[in-house]
Amino acid sequence: TFNQVEIKAVVSTQSTGVDFILVGAVGVVENGGLINKIGTYPVAVMAQSLNKPFYVAVESFKFYRNYPLCQLDLPNDSKYLDSEEKGHPTVDFTPPNLVNKLFTDLGVLTPSAVSDELIKLYI
């Protein structure tokens, strides 16, 4: 089987023959950006450079009340397997401007609609 690095390499070499990119997510933050396994951000950048839509399939219970603007804004408990800052991060942040649509149990959302859904869930 392919490991994660090999899958990312296959995506980059085979992406010209696809219509869109679809990924899952560990979490979706308030601004509509993604927290997902390391390597998702470069795949989203590649999709944008090839004019391919980048979609996310995610359940609404993974919506996360946090507002990171870049990789450095992710809290350490989200980036690493244990609470200590050692080794390489296990997740990265994909900004909302790279996400076209989110397919959720609440329906199809734009990244900007995530904050509205969080308000509904927490009020």
15-45: pLDDT as tens digits: 667 889 999 999 899 999 999 988 899 999 9
pLDDT given for residue 6 in this prediction: 47
Q: Taking all residues of the chain, what is their mean pLDDT, rounded to a whole number?
A: 81
Q: In Å, what is the CA distance from 21 to each residue of 34, 81, 116?
A: 14, 27, 25
Q: Averaged over 87-98, what is the pLDDT?
A: 87
Question: Exposure string (b/e) for 102-120, b if CB count within 10 Å is 16 or more?
Answer: bebeeeebebebbbebbee
Q: Averaged over 103-108, what is the pLDDT?
A: 94
pLDDT given for residue 74 in this prediction: 72
Q: What is the pLDDT of residues 53-65, one digit of tens each?
A: 999 999 999 888 8
Strand-pairing partners, residue 21, are: 54
DSSP string for residues in 69-90: SSGGGS-HHHHSSSSS--S--S
In the chain, DSSP finds a helix count (H) and a strand count (E) of 4, 8
Cβ atoms 58, 102 nearer than 8 A: yes
Rg from Cα positions in the chain: 15
Q: Averaged over 69-77, what is the pLDDT?
A: 70
Model pTM? 0.79
State yes or no: pLDDT of 106 exceeds 60: yes
